[in-house]
Amino acid sequence: MKTSTVALIAVGAVVTVGIGYAIYFDQKRRNDPEFRKRLKRERKRLLKVKKSEEEAFKNKAAESISQALDEIANETFPVTNQDKEKLFVEEVAKGEELAARGEEFYNEAAVSFFRALKVYPSPVELVMIYQKTVPEPVFNLVMAMMSLDVKRKQELYYKVYPPAEMNVRIDELPEGVTDDGKQIIRRGLVATRDFDEGEVIYTEIPVVSALEPALEGQDFCNFCLKQIPASESTVTCSIGCEKVVYCSTDCEKKAVAQYHQYLCTSSLSLSSKEHEFATYATKNNVKYPGMIARFLATMVYEETTKVPTGRDDEYNTWDHIERLRFLEVNPGPTEALEIKLLKELLGPKVPGIDEFVTEERYLTLKGKLQYNAYGVETVAEGEKTVPKSPEQHRNARSTSPAHPLTGAALYRATSYLAHSCEPNTAVSFPRRTQELALVATRPIKQGEELTTSYVQVDSDGEPVRGHVERKKELADAFRFKCACKRCEREEAAAASSDRD
């Protein structure tokens, strides 16, 4: 006889209680390749049901799964832990009772087990418990519901994001064909109304940003990247380090809560992991490892502070970031060292980070920064010269002739902005902070795709280099072959002048 689910959960619950953010990492595993493989195997198993009777049962099941999910989508799930626990216990008991009554109650049983799954802090763990305790057909139904639920949530994303007030939507756009004739689809930003030249389409705050390491602790805010005018005083770290400064107490508070509490070197010995991490960035003049540390810390902050509503159209930072394109980063000694430093830095403070930061995930995050980050320019007075970073020219999108820039930042919507050598928008930083404003550089019609240039193309209306060099620069930094109208035109012109 199978063990009761309730009995096994009692054991599991002890482990998970009090680790709020474990929910976070755990839910993410649902999107993990390994876990998806398991789901796929389960689905395959479900599909292998051969007899026609069972086939009919399965079709009926698929239909009722879809219906059940529709209903569950309209339910309001409890928010407090106490209410969640109550619902959880009720649904598991109900599921067990229904499953015991026989086959015709399997669907209803699966719905109950699925509801319990929605409120359990550690869904993957619960799935493993179900596998041991729930009759196989019911378990298969729960798995099918789960995978359909994940799929639906993924599709819903682009319907609710970006919000209407940003005046853009993310569309699937054709991007040529593969060698064997398959259509390539990419996602790009499309205007949802007309814009005049010079009009601001939207403004956006980044997910994560960082100053050039050489500017840290000088007159630049560690949080919003703003240059602090000489006439204003800087705000120092409330924990006590002297490595960073802020433009306001507001920025200081946010930085400490979201990430600096993990990175601060105050009253720590020079051999501490915090010092080692900070020194690595300064010595090598690199921002991306620090940005990844901030990003991970911010995810934990978000997970431990936000009030969950249980709604399906809520997306967290990871949901936003995991969809973004990224450059393949090959693992090397540099990355191995960075992962080690990062784990030593965050590991003792953030249980679970060790398993979360796999080599693959670190390289992916780095590749996302390399492909999507924008150079941020905030110098308001005087001139700043900082040593050129090995990351800078090659990796951040920027049309600025002023190199080096103040820092770099990763944005949610703006990451979808495609490159063109004759773009219809430009990225700017009018408040001289990390807040990005997307400005129309010519009249734009509703439904038109928005583009920007990832590199400087012209200066005072004159091209800064020929199309061959420009294409090479784009290919080197972002690994794509530019096929914009301008490149086509200039190539055709060059070809015809060759013939003359």
Binding site for Zn ion (CB under 5 A): 221, 223-224, 226, 237, 239, 241, 247, 251, 264, 421, 482, 484, 487
Least distance from Zn ion to the Cβ atom of residue 460, Å: 19
CA distance 114 to 92: 9
Cβ nearer to Zn ion, comparing 152 with 254: 254
Cβ nearer to Zn ion, comparing 11 with 230: 230
Contact indicator for 135, 103 with CB cutoff of 8 Å = no
Q: What angle do CA 157, 307, 71 make, to 5 degrees?
A: 50
Contact indicator for 302, 319 with CB cutoff of 8 Å = no
Cβ nearer to Zn ion, comparing 144 with 421: 421
Q: Exposed, middle or buried, 240 (CB in 10 Å: 0-12/13-18/19+)?
A: exposed
Token pair of 94 as six digits: 């109900």
Token pair of 476 as six digits: 């080197």
Least distance from Zn ion to the Cβ atom of residue 482, Å: 3
Least distance from Zn ion to the Cβ atom of residue 261, Å: 8
CA distance 391 to 367: 12
CA max distance for the chain: 87
Least distance from Zn ion to the Cβ atom of residue 226, Å: 5
Least distance from Zn ion to the Cβ atom of residue 247, Å: 3
Least distance from Zn ion to the Cβ atom of residue 122, Å: 33
Q: Report phi then psi at 374, rounded to 5.
A: -110, 145
Cβ nearer to Zn ion, comparing 122 with 209: 209
- Which 3-state string (H, E, C) describes 149-191? HHHHHHHHHHHHCCCHHHCEEEEEEEEEECCCCCEEEEEEEEE
Least distance from Zn ion to the Cβ atom of residue 455, Å: 10
